[in-house]
Amino acid sequence: MERKLIWSPSSPCLLPFTLCLLLCAAYLQPTQADAAAGTNPAPAGNVAPSCDVKLTSGKDRATIDNGIIELTLTNPEGFVYGLKYQGVENVLETHEPDDFGGYFDVSWDHPGGEGKTEQVKGTKFTVITETADQVELSFSSTWSSSSKELVPLNVDKRFIVQKGVSGFYWYVIVERLKGWPDADMDQHRMVFRPKISMFKYMAVSDDIQRMMPAYKDRMTGQKLAYPEAVLLTSPIEPEFKGEVDDKYQYSLEMKDHRLKGWISDDPKMGFWVISPSEEYAAGGPNKPELTCHCGPICLAMFTSMHYAGLDMVTEYRNGEPWKKVFGPVMVYLNSMSSDHAALWKDAKTQMEKEVQNWPYSFVASADYLPAAKRGTVSGQLLVDDKFLSPTPKEACKAYVGLALPGTKDVSWQFDVKGYQFWTQTDEKGNEVKLGPVTYKAPRNGPTLWEIGIPDRSADEFFVPDPNPKYINRYFIGKPNDKYRQYGLWARYAQLYPKNDLVFDIGVSNYSKDWFFAHVLRYTCSSLDNLSSTYFSSCFIRL
Ligand SMILES: *[C@@H]1O[C@H](CO)[C@@H](O)[C@H](O)[C@H]1NC(C)=O
Ligand SMILES: *[C@@H]1O[C@H](CO)[C@@H](O)[C@H](O)[C@H]1NC(C)=O
């Protein structure tokens, strides 16, 4: 994990920052979704311009073909049915009637309900754009009071295929009108399921890339303390025997989600999910979130309770209206005869292009604002913290963001409804000039002592060794990833069996004497068995 300094005494550096923001008026009064802005096909694409984009739509399917990929969607539901590439009929795992290679789902319920996950089905198919350069399709559904069992949202799923681009773009517009029923939505996401028989190597960052166990191995394994964690006891590939598989071990902070995917060795190709921006994601750049996991599965997460709990539920009360655009996310496909690293590198180049092109100019919905409708804020951030320096210091490598004004209970960290715009860069371009902005660190009188570094990471604290019975071997010998191992919380009770830790100021060392997470202390006769049946019989002392 990368250390994020908010102030660096050794290398003071100027940090001009530039942020893009949606014009407030546009955010508060969204225009009609279908008032398609003049579409201007972007010069995106990794491949030389080739065939024109062709749309074929029939009773059950709509297919867009650009000579590189052929994307098939169910009509009018808008599920991703097929993706043909390099002679492979479908690089996705689709099994009718209800297992699709790609879908958008919402986990929700009415207040007090048990919660359910709904794969949102379109009911109306509309061709938004159809030119030789670009096709954009809409699969929309309109909620009505007679559909009480369906999530109270109007949903418009939009797919774009462009000439010469090896992949497709997907965005989703969700909207609640004023007066609609109360609801709690704890998750909005896109799910992609690359073909099981092909994609076995997962790559979610420069550092985390590996061969993965098979989904079947989880079925034959031993369930651990929660259903996501499984000890692989008889995997198909013996190399995975005795390892813990747990999708949470591959989570990354939202700012690190721009490129992730899977690689197939036969035929050699990559399936990538590119998220060029985090502006639509809940909770800001430091919110950890799932990436890809055993399945194979790859996710584009927009909102979820992961790592934060109930604070991240999108709650609607008293008929509150809402509208948000999730995406566009790009699905990118590449193929080359060389190795995994080459596929990753090429996908990374594509990701960088997409980031450069953001905000896109080719999106038809007026709810997605192109660059011309966005403003820019620039300035310089200083930190005034008398404990560290008598004069304000330039904030080095700080994350600077714009979000809706917080309330007493909701800061940007818990904001799930608005957009957020973050940067760490110093790009040019000024419209709203703030000049220097000084952040006054809250210190009530002289500071006598501090534990750790206030940098939104727990890197500096003590991370225990995992129980050797429950390891993920991939993370052994990677000190920065040690915290990902399963069951570390139980080590706390072994270190402090009777009482919680005591930290003596001036004597204790937070690298050794401060546990990296604040955990509950489990009190069992033995902490060696972390299986779900055994574990549930333990009780917790607070
Ligand atoms: C605290 O412990 C770490 C890890 O053992 C060590 O590197 C560091 O020098 C210690 N710091 C102090 C002030 O003793
Ligand atoms: C842990 O306990 C469960 C239930 O009692 C048992 O089935 C399992 O074999 C035990 N696992 C280990 C590694 O001891």
- 3-state SS, residue 478: coil
Within a domain: 4: no
Q: Residue 189 CB: number of other CB atoms within 10 A?
A: 20
> Per the structure block, which two tokens stand in for 364?
């038809």
In ligand 2, the atom with minimum distance to the C-alpha of 530 is 1
- Give dist(CA 424, CA 510) in Å, integer: 29
In ligand 1, the atom with minimum distance to the C-alpha of 509 is 1
Note whether 62 and 188 are same-domain residues.
yes
Q: What's the 361 CA to ligand 2 centre distance in angstroms? A: 57
Confidence of residue 4 (pLDDT cuts 50, 70, 90): very low
Q: What's the 491 CA to ligand 2 centre distance in angstroms? A: 18
Within a domain: 116: yes
In ligand 1, the atom with minimum distance to the C-alpha of 512 is 2
CA 494 to each of CA 341, 491, 502, 511: distance values in angstroms, whole numbers, following the listed order: 41, 5, 15, 18
> Per the structure block, which two tokens stand in for 427?
């790009």
Are the C-beta atoms of 185 and 313 separated by less than 8 Å?
yes
Residue finishing a domain among 323, 341, 357 = 357
Q: Residue 540 CB: number of other CB atoms within 10 A?
A: 11
One-letter amino acid of 475: F
DSSP-derived secondary structure for 152-185: S-EEEEEEEEETT-SEEEEEEEEEE-TTPPPEEE
CA 352 to each of CA 44, 209, 314, 507: distance values in angstroms, whole numbers, following the listed order: 11, 19, 31, 47
Ligand sitting nearest the alpha carbon of 511: 1
Report the pLDDT averaged over residues 245-266. 97
Residue finishing a domain among 322, 357, 392 = 357
Note whether 81 and 218 are same-domain residues.
yes
One-letter amino acid of 137: L
What residue's CA is closest to ligand 1, atom 4? 511
In ligand 2, the atom with minimum distance to the C-alpha of 531 is 1
Q: What's the 221 CA to ligand 2 centre distance in angstroms? A: 12
Residues with beta carbon inside 6 Å of ligand 2? 469, 529, 531, 533-534
Q: What's the 533 CA to ligand 2 centre distance in angstroms? A: 8
pLDDT tens figures, 180-228: 999 999 999 999 999 999 999 999 999 999 999 999 999 999 999 889 9
Note whether 340 and 450 are same-domain residues.
no
Task: State yes or no: pLDDT of 428 exceeds 60.
Answer: no
Note whether 238 and 347 are same-domain residues.
yes
Are the C-beta atoms of 92 and 102 separated by less than 8 Å?
yes
Q: What's the 493 CA to ligand 2 centre distance in angstroms? A: 19
pLDDT score for 431: 43
| Bridge partners, residue 69, by sequence | 85
Domains held by the chain: number: 2
Residue that the structure tokens 């604290």 belong to: 461
* Top mutation candidate among 232, 531, 536 for ligand 2, by most atoms within 8 Å of CB: 531
* Top mutation candidate among 231, 534, 535, 538 for ligand 2, by most atoms within 8 Å of CB: 534
Ligand sitting nearest the alpha carbon of 223: 2
Lowest mean pLDDT among 264-273, 422-431, 511-520: 422-431
- 3-state SS, residue 363: coil
Percentage of residues in the chain having pLDDT higher than 70? 84
Q: Residue 451 CB: number of other CB atoms within 10 A?
A: 13
Cα Rg of the chain (Å, integer): 24
Note whether 353 and 241 are same-domain residues.
yes
How is the chain split among helix, strand and coil, in percent rounded to 5?
Answer: 15, 35, 50
In ligand 2, the atom with minimum distance to the C-alpha of 529 is 1
Task: State yes or no: pLDDT of 434 exceeds 90.
Answer: no
Confidence of residue 433 (pLDDT cuts 50, 70, 90): low
Residue 505, judged by CB atoms within 10 A of its CB (0-12, 13-18, 19+), counts as exposed
pLDDT tens figures, 290-342: 999 999 999 999 999 999 888 888 899 999 999 999 999 999 999 987 899 99
Q: What's the 535 CA to ligand 2 centre distance in angstroms? A: 10
Within a domain: 373: no
One-letter amino acid of 47: V
pLDDT tens figures, 356-392: 999 999 999 999 999 999 988 888 888 888 888 889 8
Q: Residue 445 CB: number of other CB atoms within 10 A?
A: 6
Are the C-beta atoms of 284 and 273 separated by less than 8 Å?
no
pLDDT score for 376: 83
E strands, 281-411, where?
A: 288-289, 292-293, 297-304, 314-316, 322-334, 374-384, 393-394, 400-402
> Per the structure block, which two tokens stand in for 292?
């890809």
Task: State yes or no: pLDDT of 49 exceeds 90.
Answer: no
- For residue 130, what is the domain's CATH number? 2.70.98.10
Within a domain: 260: yes
- Give dist(CA 414, CA 232) in Å, integer: 35
E strands, 362-454, where?
A: 374-384, 393-394, 400-402, 421-423, 432-440
pLDDT tens figures, 93-131: 999 888 999 999 999 999 999 999 999 999 999 999 999
- Give dist(CA 470, CA 485) in Å, integer: 8
Within a domain: 499: yes
pLDDT score for 542: 40
pLDDT tens figures, 78-97: 999 999 999 999 999 999 88
Residue finishing a domain among 357, 374, 400 = 357
pLDDT score for 38: 34
- Give dist(CA 476, CA 485) in Å, integer: 9
Higher pLDDT, 52 or 49: 52
Note whether 69 and 194 are same-domain residues.
yes
Q: What's the 508 CA to ligand 1 centre distance in angstroms? A: 9
Higher pLDDT, 270 or 14: 270
> Per the structure block, which two tokens stand in for 440?
């006054």
In ligand 1, the atom with minimum distance to the C-alpha of 510 is 1
| Range of 15-24, 278-287, 426-435 with top mean pLDDT | 278-287
- Give dist(CA 439, CA 491) in Å, integer: 38
Are the C-beta atoms of 164 and 45 separated by less than 8 Å?
yes
Note whether 352 and 449 are same-domain residues.
no
* Top mutation candidate among 486, 529, 536 for ligand 2, by most atoms within 8 Å of CB: 529
Q: What's the 214 CA to ligand 2 centre distance in angstroms? A: 23
Q: What mean pLDDT is reported for the chain?
A: 86
Within a domain: 231: yes
pLDDT score for 440: 83
pLDDT score for 9: 30
Note whether 186 and 330 are same-domain residues.
yes
Cis status of the peptide bond prior to 359, with omega within 30 of 0: yes
- For residue 499, what are the domain limits? 444-542
Q: What's the 460 CA to ligand 1 centre distance in angstroms? A: 10
Residue that the structure tokens 């979610």 belong to: 204
pLDDT score for 436: 72
What residue's CA is closest to ligand 1, atom 8? 511
pLDDT tens figures, 505-526: 999 999 999 999 988 777 665 5
Q: What's the 125 CA to ligand 1 centre distance in angstroms? A: 63
Within a domain: 512: yes
Note whether 346 and 450 are same-domain residues.
no
> Per the structure block, which two tokens stand in for 163?
């000439």
pLDDT tens figures, 440-468: 888 888 888 889 988 888 999 999 999 99
Ligand sitting nearest the alpha carbon of 509: 1
Residues with beta carbon inside 6 Å of ligand 1? 509, 511-512
Task: State yes or no: pLDDT of 497 exceeds 90.
Answer: no
Note whether 332 and 448 are same-domain residues.
no
What residue's CA is closest to ligand 1, atom 13? 509
- 3-state SS, residue 341: helix
Note whether 334 and 450 are same-domain residues.
no
Q: What's the 459 CA to ligand 1 centre distance in angstroms? A: 13
pLDDT score for 408: 61
Q: Residue 250 CB: number of other CB atoms within 10 A?
A: 24
Note whether 110 and 255 are same-domain residues.
yes
Within a domain: 367: no
